[in-house]
Every structure is written in C-alpha cells, then in structure tokens.
Amino acid sequence: MKGILTYSEWAKLLTSIKNREDDKQNLSIIQNSKFDATGSALQRFITRFSRMLEDRINDAKERFKKNCSRSTSSDSDLIQALLSLRKEFCYLYEVSLAIDIPEEYKTQFQQKIIEIANETQDALESTQNADIFGRLAALVRNHKVNTIGVENE
C-alpha cells in the first residue's frame, strides 16, 4: 500500500476515516505513511486528528444507542452492539498507535480512547444495575467495550 506525505493527503485520509470508508485500507495507508511536519502544521493536524476521533466515537455511541433502542432487541442484538462498539474503540486505538506523530501526542490519544471506553463501560454497567434478573448486566460484563490494547500490548 502506497504511503502519503502531504498535509492535503492526510486531510483527505482523516476525512475518509471519519466517514468510515474502508477502515482496513486506511489503517494500512497510515502504517505506510509519514507525517513530517512541525509547528503550526503539526498543531493543525493534531486538532484535525482529535476531531476525527471524537466524531468516530460519538457516531459509534449513537449507533450503539440506536441498535439498543429497537423494541425487538434481543440478547444477540445487544451482544452485537457491544462488540461493534468495542471494535470501534480498538480500531481507533490501532490508528493512534500507527500514526506517525510525536510520541507525546500518540500517548495522549491512546489514553483518551481508553478513558472514554472505560467511562462507557462504567456507564453501561451502572445502567444495568436496575436489571432485576441480572441478564442484561451479565451481558454487559461478559462483552466489555473497554478491552482495548489487550491484544495489542
């Protein structure tokens, strides 16, 4: 896979990632690319990258809510929604590992993704406490959305 070099190409790639266009190919492009900028260009890129992460996470959470709010949601639908949310967090973590930016920014992005995943898992577990039979709580505990980086470390 051919790497990219210019800020313009990076901007297009981040838009593609934000729009969920061919995640596998985008990750491959990132792994084969370098971002050689400093100063204000780096700051613009970091801002743009951060916005992309926020948009993807917010979109994933909205899709999760939508999938869970269907009146015909079954256990398998909930499990699929949980796994989809976990997959999104893992993908964004992989992107943050692969991106060629200074280590301090990488670490900040990775910590933020893990923090959001942990907060999401905690929120899911706390809302399932009202589950009388514990069935939903068990599903949420057994299909955690915050198992990020476990297979990467």
Mind listing the pLDDT tens digit for each residue in 67-87? 877 656 678 888 899 999 999
Query: Hey, which bits of 7-123 come out as E strands?
Result: none
pLDDT tens-digit profile of 103-146?
Answer: 999 999 999 999 999 999 998 888 765 665 667 778 888 888 88
CB atoms within 10 A of CB 74: 9
Prediction pTM value: 0.87
10-55 residue pLDDT tens: 999 999 999 999 999 999 999 999 888 788 889 999 999 999 999 9
Cα-based distances in Å from 82 to 69, 79, 101, 102, 114: 13, 5, 30, 32, 16
Helices 39-69 and 103-127 pack at an angle, to 10 degrees, of: 20
- DSSP tag of 15: H
Number of other CB atoms surrounding residue 6 within 10 Å: 11
